[in-house]
Amino acid sequence: MSLRFLRFDPETVALLSRCMTRAEQQAGIPAAHEDAQDRRTRLAAALIEAAGRGERDEDRLVDFALRVVPSYRNTAFRRM
């Protein structure tokens, strides 16, 4: 499935916006950090990928997106 041609209804766009805000906060991305834009892009891409596959649970979307952040991923897997 190409992400290039995905279309989301307004409710899903609002959900993704909330998830992006939560993911950024949980990832601790400081606005002035040099990698901030790259991390935001990766978080957004992960959210779009999961939503494109039909995921609509906010917690699962955020968790999926955060797995692209190495520091979060390493911490999350240590807790398992």
Q: Apex CA 37: angle with CA 69 and CA 63, to 5°?
A: 30
- Mean predicted confidence (pLDDT) in 15-30: 91
- Report the percentage of the chain scoring pLDDT > 70: 80
Q: Please tell me which residue, 72 or 47, carries the higher pLDDT value.
A: 47
Task: Indicate the SS3 state at residue 77.
Answer: helix
Q: What is the tens place of the pLDDT at every residue in 34-66?
A: 678 888 999 999 999 999 999 999 999 999 999
**DSSP per residue over the chain, as a string?**
--GGG----HHHHHHHHHHHHHHHHHHT--TT-TTHHHHHHHHHHHHHHHHHTT---HHHHHHHHHTTSHHHHHHHHHT-
Extract the tokens encoding 78: 């240590």
